[in-house]
Structure 1
């Protein structure tokens, strides 16, 4: 019996917290998995699992072997997938997560254009404003509008996104134009709960220092598009990605407030699990999106699809 099979059996037992559960998950007998793990231990000359009639635990050597086995199995599976992709060409299904706001405005056209250009690749798009767990939930890639923070994921920036604070002319007339970012604490604000900071706005004060300003108001909603609608209905000040409110600012339905004081620039990112061998179909999508956004996102303005208002 080869070492990979024994290694997979051991990892399955640890992941499923027991031989019985692992046997059900693997569709194999408990006795067979026990045999594989015992042969692995014999080959290594160490005990990996402490077994009792009711439970088991990892030995110190078992902990070390489990961590390294996971890495080796992932690398082996990645290599196998890369070779299969190379043989199959650009074909298959890409499971992708994207925020609703992206799909509902012009830049959602990028995914449509990719599908048209690659008829042998199927896009399985799940629109969700939360940050999905790519590995646990089985996604190949996610598109995110965020300030990218350190993580175990690989991220490629597709385009910058400027966050814009704005309000309708009626709101500004009723409450006055804020003179400093801290004024927002006493003004009605529309809270987009998709933001990781939720009811806080991070900006720069007059000295260039970062300050966090608490905000609140008549409506909290987990959608930048709904937040825009609330702003157009004169409910308060709103913080939005530039491409959400670009047309409103251009025609005066909304007015930008305190330009230049907001903090770190956000961006549109393609995010995927840390893998040495990225499947060809996913790499093709990322490369396509990089070119698409470069062509449709001017450096001094918001991303808009061709023909967008």
Structure 2
């Protein structure tokens, strides 16, 4: 019997807190698992478990072996998955979490184009504006449009974007052009409740200091696409990711205001769990998205110039 099988049996017994529970979880007999652990101890020349008729406990050597065995088994399984993925020629499923605004905007085409280019890969795309727990909920990858915070996850920046303060020419004519960000507090505003700080707009003052202004208005909605629609209906000023309003700025339907004052360190990221060996199909998707955004995404010039 090989060491790997014995190692898995030992880890299963510890994880399930006993031979009986481990046997049920593994679909093997309690006697067989006991035999594997005993053979492992004989091979190591060390006692790993203190056994009684009712319970067991780890010895000091058992604690050390368990920690190292977990790392080794994970590395082995990751290596096996990597080789299998390579041999399968990028076939199989990818479970993706993405915000609704990604699919609604033109950049949602990136996932469609990937599906066309890789017919053997199945995409399971869950559109939700909340930040899912990738590990707990079984996602392979998340696409996030945000200011990325520190995380135990691995993130690759696909594309930067700017937040722009916009209004239609009619709104500007009716309410005037604000001369400072602070003036937004008294102007009608369309609030995107998906934004990290909702109705609080962070910006840099004339001295370069970070500050913010609180805005309010008749409409609050959790969709940048709906915010844009309300803005084009002359219902107020609003802040939007540039890729949502690019064509409107270039066509003159919207005008960018206070260019350069909004905080702009956000981006579109591919985020995935920390794995030493990322499945080849997931790596292929991340690489494809990075190339797609580089080739297809443009940033509007300030003040709506084309």
TM-score, structure 1 as length reference = 0.80
CA RMSD of aligned residues (A): 3.4
Report the Cα distance in structure 2 between the residues aligned to 1:170 and 1:18, rounded to whole angstroms.
73
Greater Rg over alpha carbons, structure: 2
Q: 1:33 to 1:171 in 2, by over 3 A?
A: farther
Query: 1:68 offset after TM fit, Å?
Result: 4.4
TM-score, structure 2 as length reference = 0.81
Give matches, 1:68-217, under 5 Å.
68-217=68-217
Question: Paired residue for 2:287?
Answer: 287
Contact 1:78–1:277 at 8 Å: present in 2 too? yes
Contact 2:250–2:300 at 8 Å: present in 1 too? no
**What is the number of equivalent residue pairs in this alignment?**
301
Give matches, 1:9-48, under 5 Å.
26-27=26-27, 45=46
Contact 2:242–2:299 at 8 Å: present in 1 too? no
Contact 1:50–1:59 at 8 Å: present in 2 too? no
Report the Cα distance in structure 2 between the residues aligned to 1:200 and 1:38, rounded to whole angstroms.
63
Report the Cα distance in structure 1 between the residues aligned to 2:63 and 2:103, rounded to whole angstroms.
44
Q: 1:8 to 1:168 in 2, by over 3 A?
A: farther
Query: 1:150 offset after TM fit, Å?
Result: 2.0
Report the Cα distance in structure 2 between the residues aligned to 1:158 and 1:119, rounded to whole angstroms.
23
Report the Cα distance in structure 2 between the residues aligned to 1:147 and 1:220, rounded to whole angstroms.
21
Q: Deviations over 1:12-60 (max 9, x none)?
A: 566667777766655556776677678767858466799996x999888
Greater shift in the superposed pair: 89-98 or 233-242: 233-242
Query: 1:185 offset after TM fit, Å?
Result: 3.0
Report the Cα distance in structure 1 between the residues aligned to 2:35 and 2:199, rounded to whole angstroms.
56
SS at match of 1:268: strand
Q: 1:185 to 1:14 in 2, by over 3 A?
A: farther
Question: Paired residue for 1:250?
Answer: 250
Q: 1:161 to 1:62 in 2, by over 3 A?
A: farther
Query: 1:216 offset after TM fit, Å?
Result: 3.1
Q: 1:161 to 1:63 in 2, by over 3 A?
A: farther
